[in-house]
Structure 1
């Protein structure tokens, strides 16, 4: 009579920094789970490194005050910055999508929610750019009011962007991302410094930088940021793992 193989016990789900991970003894040890999370984090962080750096450059430029800059030139410069922020947020969404579903509880939902929100932010920046491009720079008072309006819109996008990456900064997934060089570039977390085009360019030129908002993780979230409103937010780097 053959001896029955011992029944393999399934480990109970345990909380890890706010995120529940189902660690099963069957075919998947804790080390295996950790390795898979590290692999996922590497995929995202490697792909996000350049977009994050580019978004930081764009945000810094929105806060740059150039002496003697004509309103029309300021408008063109800020428009290019918003276009860059739209592109980098789309690239972040693509990075999270291509990495696949992270091996965490509700991983598919966490991934898809982040992707959808980052795509919405990217489109939002394009909408803000279109609005900015439509401003009449000849009337400096109206132009300044228009910049403030665009700035408010961008600040909202910044918050959504930060929220989108926040879920990736929790628990074991966040810990895995903090280990990756690509996600250590920024220091955003939830309050990275940021810049935003001067909503009050009353002289038609110049932008006022502000202190701003955050971006996920030691990380940064390019999306989270920069707004032509006098107050800005700097994206950090998508390293979900608040630093």
Structure 2
């Protein structure tokens, strides 16, 4: 059975990032110990991301006023930015993973989470700048933001791909802290 590490990327669109593998085998105890350090620190951040995404989805599916959408989305983007920054820091603090090219794997994954953190911060800044008093301009601004989501989330996807390629997928999937599944949502 595959276990999923889902990181919610928002704007009403949830991207599933999956660390494929079965996890839970008694393979490399060092990799499992490393993964536990990371996943234990990731768990609260993944929950924050999931909650932030749910809030974005809520205001996107209700007849919310532009100022409520702006306030909710801005707060959610800020939360996600901070969470991805924290996830990158957790990777760094866990030390070099005990896999071939561990230092390269770690550095690339940390960089990816930092890029996603910055991407969400940029989305927050853009959301804050939207004119809530002009419905047409606000709607156009939301479309532009939605178009920027792929760019904002690329680093996080690359980070997880790097961890998979580094051979850490099974160790991470075996950790309860990395087993968060976020339901998929339809775009705004």
The one of 102, 108, 121 equivalent to 1:107 is: 102
TM-score, length basis structure 2:
0.79
Correspondence for 2:17: none
Higher relative CO (CA 8 A, sep ≥ 6), structure 1 or 2? 2
Mapped pair 1:82 → 2:77: yes
Q: Please give the per-residue CA displacement for 1:83-117, whole angstroms capped at 9, x wherever unaligned.
A: 01101101110111111101111110110011011
- Note the C-alpha offset of 1:160: 2.6
Correspondence for 2:37: 43
What's the secondary structure of 1:144's corresponding residue? helix
TM-score, length basis structure 1:
0.62
The one of 139, 148, 154 equivalent to 1:144 is: 139
The one of 58, 67, 73 equivalent to 2:52 is: 58
Mapped pair 1:156 → 2:172: no
What's the secondary structure of 2:156's corresponding residue? helix
Aligned-pair Cα RMSD in Å = 1.9
Given that 2:97 and 2:103 are in contact with CA atoms closer than 8 Å, whether structure 1 keeps it comes out as yes
- Note the C-alpha offset of 1:127: 1.1
- Note the C-alpha offset of 1:147: 0.7
CA 139–105 in structure 1, closer or farther in 2 if over 3 Å, else same = same
Mapped pair 1:169 → 2:153: no
Correspondence for 1:118: 113
Given that 1:62 and 1:81 are in contact with CA atoms closer than 8 Å, whether structure 2 keeps it comes out as yes
Given that 1:37 and 1:172 are in contact with CA atoms closer than 8 Å, whether structure 2 keeps it comes out as no
Q: Partners in 2 of 1:186 and 1:67 — Cα distance?
A: 23
Given that 2:99 and 2:166 are in contact with CA atoms closer than 8 Å, whether structure 1 keeps it comes out as no
> Which structure has the bigger radius of gyration?
1
Ranges in structure 2 where 5+ consecutive residues have no aligned partner: 1-25
Q: Partners in 1 of 2:168 and 2:96 — Cα distance?
A: 11
Larger displacement relative to structure 2 (78-87 or 164-173) = 164-173
CA 129–171 in structure 1, closer or farther in 2 if over 3 Å, else same = closer
- Note the C-alpha offset of 1:155: 2.5
- Note the C-alpha offset of 1:170: 4.0
Correspondence for 1:193: 184
